[in-house]
């Protein structure tokens, strides 16, 4: 009788390195440390812009003490050291995950190296996935070569299942035969929900932007939102999941047809405070656009459109009927995305909800991490 061998296996462990512990990164660390003790995650590194912590076997951290431990660390962040250490940790049954919660181009440029050597990459950082096509292709090929995964749900719509929905539609054979359209910017959503409500008149454009800045909905310099680049980046990311458009934007978001709402006279204003001070000079032209839309029974919305049939990808200020979901369904800084596909032809598939905020963005990052378990 043939003898039988018994193979014992250790529980799978995922070693997690986190770079960026600001609003989103800090919330992500809190969520990760709040998981039950039986979870498979071990945080091996935390890095801020000033300090870092590293232990290959896992750091001893708690939700109440990790910030103090990081602040008191005498180690300076060193991406080259961290990458070498993480690559050395990749072993069978021991996955290594690099979580980038920054908005850094420098960090994003490391993704191909991590992926090539088997380190998974998870991030809400839009830079790598909306940059030139060559970087995106390097990320794709490195992932295919090693089997390490890159997951970036939170780059579009914070915690909303927008990227995963599109990936599932494509993977199961649906065709995005007409278009994807949506209000992709929480900042722009808030501004135009307040400014153009479908009623005659309303608050001035400059006052709405000023309040949005005070509430923390805009970047410190509102021009960074009003120039439309954030929406263009998100359209680039989504278009690269549509097979027929995967190579359409050679220069990334810079190839997207984008309408800037920054008055030309304010393009060189260096500070957000000065920008807000001078924006009222241009209220009349925004008021006129709102009045014109009202006469047509429409509202203004800054929307992104990926027209698959024509190949047009644009971020622009559009007019929508007051009965349209972009006029009736949005509140606050909500995002809404409509997928017009072969299967969802008569009625589009709609994903809607909070599209900004540290807690929901960190949730999107956390949901990607759980996909690796």
DSSP state of 327: H
Dig out the tokens for 174 from the structure: 């649906």
Is 132 annotated as ligand-binding? no
Q: Is 102 assigned a ligand-binding role in the annotation? A: yes
Q: Is 357 annotated as a binding residue?
A: no
Task: Tell me: is residue 23 an annotated ligand-binding position.
Answer: yes
Is 332 annotated among the ligand-binding residues?
no
Establish whether 116 is an annotated binding residue. Answer: no
**Please, what sign has the CA dihedral across residues 181, 186, 188, 191?**
positive
Q: Are 44 and 58 in contact (CB under 8 A)?
A: yes
Q: Are 187 and 263 in contact (CB under 8 A)?
A: no
User: Is 20 marked as binding a ligand?
Assistant: yes
What's the Cα-to-Cα distance from 99 to each of 71, 85, 119, rounded to whole Å? 19, 15, 10
Residues annotated catalytic, as ranges: 234
Q: How many CB atoms lie within 10 A of CB 238?
A: 27
Helices H, strands E: what count in the chain?
A: 16, 12
Distance of CA 8 to the CA centre of its chain: 40
Alpha-carbon distance of 139 to 2, in angstroms, equals 47
How many Cβ atoms are within 10 Å of 58's Cβ, its own excluded?
14
Annotated binding site for L-homoserine: 219
Annotated binding site for NADP(+): 20-25
Annotated binding site for NADPH: 102, 126
Annotated binding site: 20-25, 102, 126, 219
């Amino acid at each position: 009788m043939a003898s039988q061998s018994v193979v014992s296996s250790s529980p799978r462990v995922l070693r997690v390195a986190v770079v960026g512990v600001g609003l989103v990164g800090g919330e992500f660390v809190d969520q990760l440390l709040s998981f039950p003790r039986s979870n498979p995650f071990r945080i091996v590194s935390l890095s801020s812009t000033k300090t870092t912590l590293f232990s290959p076997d896992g750091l001893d951290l708690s939700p109440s003490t990790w910030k103090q431990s990081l602040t008191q660390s005498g180690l300076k962040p060193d991406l080259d050291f961290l990458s070498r250490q993480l690559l050395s940790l990749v072993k069978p049954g021991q996955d290594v995950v690099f979580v980038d919660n920054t908005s850094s181009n420098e960090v994003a440029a490391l993704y191909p190296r991590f992926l090539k050597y088997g380190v998974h990459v998870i991030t809400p950082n839009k830079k790598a996935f909306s940059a030139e096509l060559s970087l995106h292709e390097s990320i794709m090929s490195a992932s295919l070569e090693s089997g390490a995964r890159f997951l970036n749900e939170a780059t579009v719509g914070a915690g909303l299942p927008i990227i995963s929905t599109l990936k599932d539609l494509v993977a199961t054979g649906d065709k995005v035969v007409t278009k994807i359209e949506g209000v992709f910017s929480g900042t722009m959503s808030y501004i135009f929900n307040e400014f153009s409500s479908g009623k005659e008149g309303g608050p001035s454009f400059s006052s709405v932007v000023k309040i949005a800045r005070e509430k923390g909905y805009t970047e410190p310099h509102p021009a960074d939102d009003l120039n439309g680049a954030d929406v263009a980046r998100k359209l680039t990311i989504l278009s690269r999941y549509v097979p027929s458009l995967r190579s359409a934007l050679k220069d990334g978001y810079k190839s997207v047809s984008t309408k800037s709402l920054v008055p030309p006279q304010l393009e060189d204003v260096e500070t957000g405070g000065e920008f807000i001070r001078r924006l009222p000079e241009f209220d009349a032209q925004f008021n006129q656009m709102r009045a014109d839309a009202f006469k047509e029974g429409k509202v203004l919305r800054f929307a992104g459109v990926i027209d698959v049939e024509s190949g047009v990808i644009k971020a622009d200020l559009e007019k929508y009927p007051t009965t349209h979901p972009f006029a009736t369904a949005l509140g606050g800084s909500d995002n809404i995305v409509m997928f017009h596909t072969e299967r969802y032809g008569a009625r589009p598939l709609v994903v809607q909800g909070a599209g900004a905020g540290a807690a929901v963005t960190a949730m999107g990052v956390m949901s990607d991490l759980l996909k690796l378990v």
